[in-house]
Amino acid sequence: MKFIQIKNCYKVYKNGVAAVADLTLDIDKGEFVFVIGASGSGKSTLIKMLYREEKPTKGDVLIGGINVGKLRNGTVFKLRRKLGIVFQDFKLLPKLTVYENVAFALECMGLKNSEIRPKVIKALEHVGLKDKIRSFPNELSGGEQQRVCIARAIVNEPKLLICDEPTGNLDPKTSKGIMEVLETINKDLGTTIIMATHDKDIVNRMKKRVIVLDSGVLAEDHMKGSYKASESV
């Protein structure tokens, strides 16, 4: 069975906008997948359905066999614990250090300090930020802040890492560094990564699977794809 199965999925918002229409696709464990398409094509809606920020109006979204859209509200937190999520804006807690930001979710889950520390150190090592452990977010560059967010997202060793425009606020050189971190996580930890992006250079360079949305519909799906193939979208 495929790790992620999206079956005949629709999302129609209350205002009548069909943001996603009849979407069917599968994603294997360990894949690295870009989701691209013009602004308004449904990328964020698809991403939000994966972490149950939105429910499909019709159809199914399954992750590891769990029908995410059908989870009771009270059990959504269990799904979220198994996912890592990285956004465009960093959403770090400004009064907490790098260590504390990464440790926060584990503390909320009730883990002991002796369990938390090695996990936090390992996550910060993966993103190359172990030496900034005592810094506060406002003492870091944008790229470093995004690395902290990635460390926070992977600290609980999720099987799936969801990224919504993670390089949207970063310059090309910094973005390249972030992509190298994500590629290493994908390769070394086997984490499945789904990333929505507008960044043509990144998509063309990385030669990963590319899913193109057009007005909520699956327009193209290329293994080792590029943005060029979909320039008409």
Binding residues for ligand ADP, per CB under 6 A?
A: 13, 15, 17, 19, 37, 39-45
Are 217 and 40 in contact, with CB atoms under 8 Å apart? no
Q: In which order are the strands placed within the sheet that holds 160-164?
A: 83-86, 160-164, 192-196, 32-36, 209-214, 217-222
Q: Smaller CB distance to ligand ADP: residue 137 or 166? A: 166
Min dist CB 225 to ligand ADP, Å, is 17
What is the smallest separation between the CB atom of 103 and ligand ADP, expressed in angstroms? 31
- Give the residue with the Cβ less far from ligand ADP, 49 or 123: 49
Closer residue to ligand ADP in complex, CB, 105/217: 217
Kindly state the smallest distance separating residue 46's Cβ from ligand ADP, in Å: 7
Task: Please report how close the Cβ of residue 220 comes to ligand ADP at its closest, in angstroms.
Answer: 15
Judged by beta carbon, residue 40 or residue 172, the one nearer ligand ADP is 40
